[in-house]
Structure 1
Amino acid sequence: MPKRMKKIAIKRTLKLIAPDVKPQRKLIVGGVTVLLLEVVFRVLEPWPLKFVIDALSVSIGADIAEAPASLRLLLICGAAFLLVVAMRALCNYLATVAFALVGSRASTLLRARIFQHVQGLSQQFHSKNRSADTVQRLVSDVNRMQEVAVTAGLPLLANVITLVVMLIIMVVLDPLLSLVVVAAMLVFMVTSRGASHKIAVAARTTRKAEGQLANTAQESLSSIKIVQAYGLESLISDRFVGANTTSLKAGVKSRRLAARLERSTDVLVGLAQAAVLVGGGLRVLEGEMTLGDLVLFTTYLRTTMKPLRDMAKYTGRIARATASGERVADLMELQSDIASPHNPTPLGDDVTGLVTFENVHTNYESTKVLRGLNLTINPGETVAIIGPSGAGKSTLVSLLVRALDPTHGTVSIDGIPLTSVDLADLRSHVSLVHQEAILFSGTIRENIRYGRFDATDAEIEAATKAANAHDFITAMPKGYDTVVGERGGTLSGGQRQRVAIARALLRDTPIVILDEATSGLDPESAGLVLEAIEKLVEGRTTLAVTHDAEVALRADRVVWLENGRVQLNGAPSDLYSTSEEFRNWVNSKEEFAS
């Protein structure tokens, strides 16, 4: 990884987390303050030992200008040593807690900000992106990013300060011996720079491999019914093992490089200590230093070398965390092409539900979907949208909730273009019932209440009765408090659909969209769902995208889309008598159903 690219990566990471670290300024200042106090106590810690050794040296006959040892001196030095050690430990504890709090709070804020950002990205992004990799960035990568600014970054700053302070004191004590420390620092800087580049590259590969591993696991488990039904367990297991092995190799390489840097630093520190031990011993024999000075210098050397060891350890951590930071930064830099306008026009509370598509063109990537579509749906009218696959039926639905914007033309509600309306305001006036009713983990009551959070239990019960869901819910052991599995998997398709319709009824919006709401249901379940749909759409503007002839025949109007344009448009009875194409379509669907 080139040095310039490494600097850019660290800069991007720090810029990303800065807004979430800033609110913790007071805690950071407090943590740095006690960390600096710890440095002071580190400096003071060996002095009682020096006084005792020099005093003992005088007592056994050394010719140095120090007072001889006494019980009072020994007790004072012992108490002072104990006090300094205790205060250093307290400062270290307070700094550790402060930095841990900063890291946890900052990562919590950042994770919430990322999640909100991802939720606002377009459906095109979510349809292409693999969700497990996004979750990995949201959870695991954010955890690693703490090490950039907090877990490693702030202690590393304190270590640098300790290194500078200790080096100054050692130069004052003995300029000649201090050259050993300077040489060790220069060698460390040269060796660590090359190693950190390699660690960063390996860490980036590791995170990518781990994302692929998560994708493989998530995709396999979410499709477990197909995997088991088709006997694909061995194939999927082999694929998972392959991804797992790739992740393992990349992870081992990153750890190996980091361990090599740490151990080479240990050797460097050992060499420096050996040089000081020999050189300092000679200085004592020559009378240039006292025995206490040598002990003091050696202790400072060990204290000075600790930051070098920590730097080696933190270099690997920061490199790995920066790789995670880049992944998160890449995600945060994605911008949705669907956004609320700066000065939105409110739809108001008296929306009638007049929907207009005027000369609408859309593209999906480079493929044209709608080609100059014109369509008006009157307030309270139910319109069935039919046609072959790829004709643009689902695109029509996406346009109405601004999951997609036209490349040309206008979509409006009550004459107000949707691009001038706040997204939350627009979507609060529309209820959707999809082909696959999506339920969340939780109770049935909670899933229905997502339609309107302030709904009472009585209102929820009324909605479920209208949706033909009350009977099967109350037949369950825990009734409305029955917990459904992930995506409602513990309920049948018809039951999930009726719960979704109850949720839409509770939402009580002027516009309803049914996207293949009866597809894949058995006749009995489809009949119950159709009865519920009739109550849902009563008095509301409704678009029903469907391949179900019964849904089309129950509509006020049928619109046939093909090649991105309206081919047929009229009442189902009129079209049945005048259009052979529509009549054949109805008959084929009825024959298939029978």
Structure 2
Amino acid sequence: MSRPDNLSDSLPGLRRVMTRLTPYMRPHRVMLAGSMTGLIAATLMKLAEPWPLKFVIDAVVPTAAGGAATTLDPMTLLALCAGALLAIVVLKALFSYLATIGFALVGNRVLTAVRADLFRHLQALSLGFHARARAGDLTMRLIGDVGMLKETAVTAALPLLASVMVLVGMVGVMLWLDWQLALLALSPLPILWFMSQRATVKIRDISRKQRKRQGELAATSTETMAGIRSVQALGLEASLSRVFSGSNDDDMRAGVKGKKLSAGLERSVDVLTGIGLAIVLWFGTLQVLNGRITPGDLLIFVSYLKQTFRPVREYAKYTARLAKAAAAGERVVALLDEVAVVRDAPDAIAAPTLRGAVTLTDVRFRYAPDAPATLDGVSVTLDAGRSVAITGPSGVGKSTFASLMLRLYDPESGTIRIDGHDLRALTIRSLRSQIGFVAQDPLILRGTIAENIALGAGRAVTPAQIADAARLADAHDFIMAQPQGYDTVVAERGATLSGGQRQRIAIARVALRDCPILILDEPTAGLDRASEEAVSAALWRLAQGRTTWLVTHDLALAAHADRVLVLDGGRIVEDGTPQDLMRAGGRFAALRARQQGDAAGPVSARGLPRAVAI
């Protein structure tokens, strides 16, 4: 990677971020213009601040000491200069305040909108992306990186912009007063700029790696907390702590290294500022003695010179923050620019009210280009209102059926149609709004039970409707047994509920949606016998009159379906009613007999005693 030579090149991420965020700023053009006006006005006040003192030294002091008289009384001129100085300081403070508040409001509004869009975008990205990404890192980008941009916009970018404007103004005034002395005074600036560029490149690279490492830390901690039950059960605390500590120590060392570089640059600026002041003091005094400039002019030079070096000093001070902001912004923009593989076609239409007749024609699918086919030329038709169970060994593509029906993925080739409509010709939102989905691990958010049941209903629902859905799911009795009934707050991921209770809340949620198509993906997996029976009964009540696709290893549950598909090697190897397949004595019959035998004994189908299965 080539090394940059200037500010825009040393922090290319900032330019890319600003370009990407420009559409978000357009609605705030008026406030931005007002804030910029305030900043320019504050800069002009900053330029004017030393001038009252110049008039005091050049006009008031000599007159009071018996020098040449002025048109105004010395005391009057002194009062005017003091009043002017006070007015300049007050106006500078007012304009600076207005500019800071204005930019802060715009920055916060823009980045709040960015965070909201980023959250929506993350939810819309395809499952293939989420399979590659780490949840903790995505959370870090959504919360930490956007927060870093918010903070930097006010605490670093705005002061630096103001300082640059002051720098340009003061250099112009100094050149106007005495260009030769100005060039001598500014001679250390090229050295300062060169030093700052070299340090910024290193700080930027360190900050970029540090943000990436912090994303990894967030991912590790999120994954550990999400799986804390298994972590503790398997005694993995020490191993995971070592992994986390190693990354944490790397992050600490990178942070210290960045601080050293930033502090070294700041001190270099202080030294070169002192050199510039010494040059001005020496040659400026000679100019005063030779009568080329007045003592007030020299005062302006010294005052301006201290302010002129301030942007470079602040660049050194804020360079680490700007570098971190660039790294954070690049990570945010990279997510915003991520394109969903599964998305609406340009000519997609909203799905009409569906009956639920499903046809798969020669469907082929693989999860990666170099992976074996998960489904290999599958064709099947299911009439509206009927139920089909898809079963077979693990890893043969049963759940892929559910993902394809929901358009979480698109097939590599072949078509899937509902009521004759190719799924890719329908908008994703309108399709999914007519499909009810019950997963093995249902989504339970922190909130009340009523809120969780109403989640995704797509319309306003009454407490009576929520209770009716819960009764259909056989959930009403255990809900009413909770401390506050339907208003009981459940923990994150439903940790305060049993597996069967979580599943019945999910069933009630789908019942409330009233969809013509149901997809049930291992809905009874991991449940005890009593919960399994309750959930199974609720599922079949829910399935009445609906087209139902049931993905399951539980052949007792599959036996209640109108039809069973046995999948193996990416193909359908058996297809028929449960009774026909049992009479045929094929794979379904063999697996069913084995499960019945396992259920009668002390050992489960997975080979673990039921009492200790995790």
| TM more than 0.5 | yes
Question: For the residues of structure 1 that align with 2:410 and 2:38, how far apart are their CA atoms?
Answer: 55
Residue matched to 1:512: 518
Which of 230, 233, 241 lines up with 1:237 in the alignment?
Answer: 241
Greater CA drift, 106-115 or 380-389: 106-115
Which of 394, 397, 418 lines up with 1:392 in the alignment?
Answer: 397
Q: Which letter maps to 2:38?
A: V
Which of 177, 182, 187 lines up with 1:183 in the alignment?
Answer: 187
Question: For the residues of structure 1 that align with 2:498 and 2:445, how far apart are their CA atoms?
Answer: 14
Residue matched to 2:171: 167
Asked if 1:86 is matched to 2:126, the reply is no
Q: How big is the shift at 1:449?
A: 0.3
Task: Give secondary structure in 2 for the equivalent of 1:588.
Answer: helix
Residue matched to 2:367: 364
Task: Give secondary structure in 2 for the equivalent of 1:23.
Answer: helix
Asked if 1:297 is matched to 2:301, the reply is yes
Q: How big is the shift at 1:159?
A: 2.5
Instruction: Spell out, residue by residue over 1:162-186, the C-alpha distance to the aligned partner (whole angstroms, 9 max, x if none).
Output: 2122112112222232113331222
Residue matched to 1:353: 356
Residue matched to 1:217: 221
Q: How big is the shift at 1:151?
A: 5.1
Q: How does 1:218-367 map onto structure 2 within 5 Å?
A: 218-349=222-353, 351-365=354-368, 366-367=371-372
Residue matched to 2:451: 446
On the 8 A contact 1:385/1:393 being kept in 2, the answer is yes
Instruction: Spell out, residue by residue over 1:502-537, the C-alpha distance to the aligned partner (whole angstroms, 9 max, x if none).
Output: 001111101001111011111111111111111110
Question: For the residues of structure 2 that align with 1:377 and 1:506, how far apart are their CA atoms?
Answer: 24
Instruction: Spell out, residue by residue over 1:207-265, the C-alpha distance to the aligned partner (whole angstroms, 9 max, x if none).
Output: 11111111111111111111112222222222211111111112222222222222211
Q: How big is the shift at 1:89?
A: 0.7
Residue matched to 1:426: 431
Q: How big is the shift at 1:59?
A: 4.2
On the 8 A contact 1:59/1:68 being kept in 2, the answer is no
On the 8 A contact 1:2/1:197 being kept in 2, the answer is no
Instruction: Spell out, residue by residue over 1:13-41, the C-alpha distance to the aligned partner (whole angstroms, 9 max, x if none).
Output: 22221111222211111111111111111
Which ranges of structure 2 fall in alignment gaps of 5 or more residues? 601-614
Asked if 1:406 is matched to 2:414, the reply is no
On the 8 A contact 1:14/1:149 being kept in 2, the answer is no
Q: Which letter maps to 2:550?
A: A
On the 8 A contact 1:42/1:303 being kept in 2, the answer is no
Task: Give secondary structure in 1 for the equivalent of 2:373.
Answer: strand
Question: For the residues of structure 2 that align with 1:26 and 1:16, how far apart are their CA atoms?
Answer: 20
Residue matched to 2:56: 52
Task: Give secondary structure in 1 for the equivalent of 2:374.
Answer: strand
Q: Give me the CA root mean square deviation.
A: 1.9
Which of 533, 537, 543 lines up with 1:531 in the alignment?
Answer: 537
Q: How big is the shift at 1:150?
A: 6.2
Which of 582, 591, 597 lines up with 1:576 in the alignment?
Answer: 582
On the 8 A contact 1:55/1:67 being kept in 2, the answer is no
TM score, norm. by length of structure 2: 0.93
Which of 459, 475, 484 lines up with 2:481 in the alignment?
Answer: 475
Residue matched to 2:612: none
Q: How big is the shift at 1:376?
A: 0.8
Residue matched to 1:586: 592
Count of residue pairs brought into register by the alignment: 593
Greater CA drift, 175-184 or 569-578: 175-184
Q: How big is the shift at 1:88?
A: 0.6
Q: Which letter maps to 1:593?
A: A
Q: How big is the shift at 1:148?
A: 7.1
On the 8 A contact 2:440/2:521 being kept in 1, the answer is yes
Q: How big is the shift at 1:200?
A: 1.1
Q: How big is the shift at 1:63?
A: 5.3
On the 8 A contact 2:60/2:77 being kept in 1, the answer is no
Task: Give secondary structure in 2 for the equivalent of 1:108.
Answer: helix
On the 8 A contact 1:430/1:512 being kept in 2, the answer is yes
Q: How big is the shift at 1:572?
A: 0.5
Q: How big is the shift at 1:558?
A: 0.8
Greater CA drift, 550-559 or 183-192: 183-192
Question: For the residues of structure 2 that align with 1:456 and 1:446, how far apart are their CA atoms?
Answer: 11
Task: Give secondary structure in 1 for the equivalent of 2:409.
Answer: coil
Asked if 1:496 is matched to 2:502, the reply is yes
Q: Which letter maps to 1:440?
A: L
Task: Give secondary structure in 2 for the equivalent of 1:364.
Answer: coil
Question: For the residues of structure 1 that align with 2:243 and 2:198, how far apart are their CA atoms?
Answer: 35
Residue matched to 1:34: 38
Q: Which letter maps to 2:37?
A: T
Sequence identity (%) = 43
Question: For the residues of structure 2 that align with 1:307 and 1:170, how far apart are their CA atoms?
Answer: 16
Which of 369, 373, 376 lines up with 2:378 in the alignment?
Answer: 373
Greater CA drift, 508-517 or 141-150: 141-150
Q: How big is the shift at 1:99?
A: 1.2
Greater CA drift, 188-197 or 140-149: 140-149
Q: How big is the shift at 1:302?
A: 2.0
Instruction: Spell out, residue by residue over 1:111-137, the C-alpha distance to the aligned partner (whole angstroms, 9 max, x if none).
Output: 122222111111111122101111111
Question: For the residues of structure 2 that align with 1:84 and 1:7, how far apart are their CA atoms?
Answer: 35
On the 8 A contact 1:385/1:545 being kept in 2, the answer is yes
Question: For the residues of structure 1 that align with 2:197 and 2:304, how far apart are their CA atoms?
Answer: 25
1:377–1:62 CA distance, 2 compared to 1 (3 A):
farther
Task: Give secondary structure in 2 for the equivalent of 1:357.
Answer: strand
Q: Which letter maps to 2:384?
A: P
Which ranges of structure 1 fall in alignment gaps of 5 or more residues? none
Asked if 1:558 is matched to 2:564, the reply is yes
Question: For the residues of structure 2 that align with 1:276 and 1:146, how far apart are their CA atoms?
Answer: 40
On the 8 A contact 1:103/1:151 being kept in 2, the answer is no
Residue matched to 1:75: 79
Question: For the residues of structure 2 that align with 1:24 and 1:181, how far apart are their CA atoms?
Answer: 40
Greater CA drift, 62-71 or 483-492: 62-71
Residue matched to 1:485: 491
On the 8 A contact 2:185/2:279 being kept in 1, the answer is no
Question: For the residues of structure 1 that align with 2:566 and 2:497, how far apart are their CA atoms?
Answer: 33
Asked if 1:120 is matched to 2:124, the reply is yes
Q: How big is the shift at 1:285?
A: 3.0
On the 8 A contact 1:515/1:546 being kept in 2, the answer is yes
Question: For the residues of structure 2 that align with 1:53 and 1:507, how far apart are their CA atoms?
Answer: 82
Which of 467, 472, 477 lines up with 1:461 in the alignment?
Answer: 467
Question: For the residues of structure 2 that align with 1:186 and 1:147, how far apart are their CA atoms?
Answer: 30
Q: How big is the shift at 1:268?
A: 1.6
Q: How big is the shift at 1:570?
A: 0.7
Residue matched to 1:156: 160
Q: How big is the shift at 1:147?
A: 6.7
Q: How does 1:105-144 map onto structure 2 within 5 Å?
A: 105-144=109-148
Residue matched to 1:547: 553
Q: Which letter maps to 1:123?
A: L
Question: For the residues of structure 2 that align with 1:159 and 1:466, how far apart are their CA atoms?
Answer: 67
On the 8 A contact 1:58/1:69 being kept in 2, the answer is no
Question: For the residues of structure 1 that align with 2:10 and 2:304, how far apart are their CA atoms?
Answer: 33
Task: Give secondary structure in 1 for the equivalent of 2:572.
Answer: strand
Task: Give secondary structure in 1 for the equivalent of 2:83.
Answer: helix
Residue matched to 2:2: 2
Q: How does 1:7-18 map onto structure 2 within 5 Å?
A: 8-18=12-22
Question: For the residues of structure 2 that align with 1:279 and 1:352, how far apart are their CA atoms?
Answer: 91
Q: Which letter maps to 1:355?
A: V
Q: Which letter maps to 1:370?
A: L
